[in-house]
């Protein structure tokens, strides 16, 4: 949340207009993917998504920051500017695509799992937890990037996604 724009500006030499334009394009693409997410999660074909899909998509999502971190480490180890920009941008778009599908799936599941009498309470708790995650992510990414660099941010992100996958194991499954 903090690390990425700072990394793009400091490492790639992008000015604030280029960084902002890139992030705006990324968010627009994210929204487009969310519109198609039911086709990827099975909802559009009549399958009702459940905890199995949440676990599967979390595992796929967790692999991407690891791949980006490894690609950056390899690129930096081989030579100092070899394909780092491509690895980061391609990885971000892959991550954004899978993350958008995850986000859409989670929004569906929170309503699907909500109790009849407490939908607003369940949805409110979900969005409160989401806001807390954003606060923690903002503070943590800024600190980690400043002290350790982008690769550690990606590894920590993968760790949090792994934790999410573990929690997803306990989600209800429809039979």
| Measured torsion, CA atoms of residues 60, 64, 66, 71, in degrees rounded to the nearest 10 | 140
Report the mean per-residue pLDDT for the chain. Answer: 82
Return the axis-axis angle of helices 3-12 and 84-113, rounded to nearest 10°.
170
Position 23 scores a pLDDT of: 92
Position 6 scores a pLDDT of: 92
Which pLDDT band holds residue 28 (cuts at 50, 70, 90)? very high
pLDDT beyond 50 at 17: yes
- Residue 115 dihedral angles phi and psi, to the nearest 5°: -70, 150
Position 18 scores a pLDDT of: 94
User: Could you report the per-residue pLDDT of 107-144, keeping only the tens digit for each?
Assistant: 888 888 887 777 888 888 888 988 998 999 999 999 99
> What are the boundaries of each domain within the chain?
3-168
Q: Provide CB contacts within 8 A for 9, sequence distance 6+.
A: 15, 16, 19
Short-list 160, 175, 167, 157, CA closest to 55: 167
pLDDT beyond 50 at 175: no
Question: How far is the C-alpha of 17 from the C-alpha of 2, rounded, in Å?
Answer: 16
Which pLDDT band holds residue 105 (cuts at 50, 70, 90)? confident
């Amino acid at each position: 949340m903090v690390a990425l724009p700072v990394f793009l500006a400091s490492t790639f030499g992008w000015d604030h207009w280029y960084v902002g334009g890139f992030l705006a394009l990324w968010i627009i693409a994210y929204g487009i993917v969310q519109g198609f997410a039911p086709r990827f999660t099975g909802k559009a074909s009549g399958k009702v998504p459940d905890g199995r899909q949440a676990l599967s998509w979390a595992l796929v999502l967790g692999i991407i920051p690891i791949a980006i971190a490894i690609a950056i480490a390899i690129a930096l180890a081989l030579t100092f500017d070899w394909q780092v920009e491509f690895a980061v941008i391609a990885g971000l778009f892959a991550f954004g695509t899978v993350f958008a599908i995850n986000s859409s799936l989670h929004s569906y599941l929170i309503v699907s799992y909500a109790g009849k009498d407490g939908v607003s309470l369940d949805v409110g708790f979900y969005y409160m937890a989401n806001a807390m995650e954003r606060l923690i992510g903002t503070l943590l990414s800024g600190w980690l990037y400043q002290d350790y660099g982008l690769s550690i941010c990606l590894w920590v992100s993968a760790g949090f996604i792994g934790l999410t996958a573990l929690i997803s194991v306990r989600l209800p499954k429809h039979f």
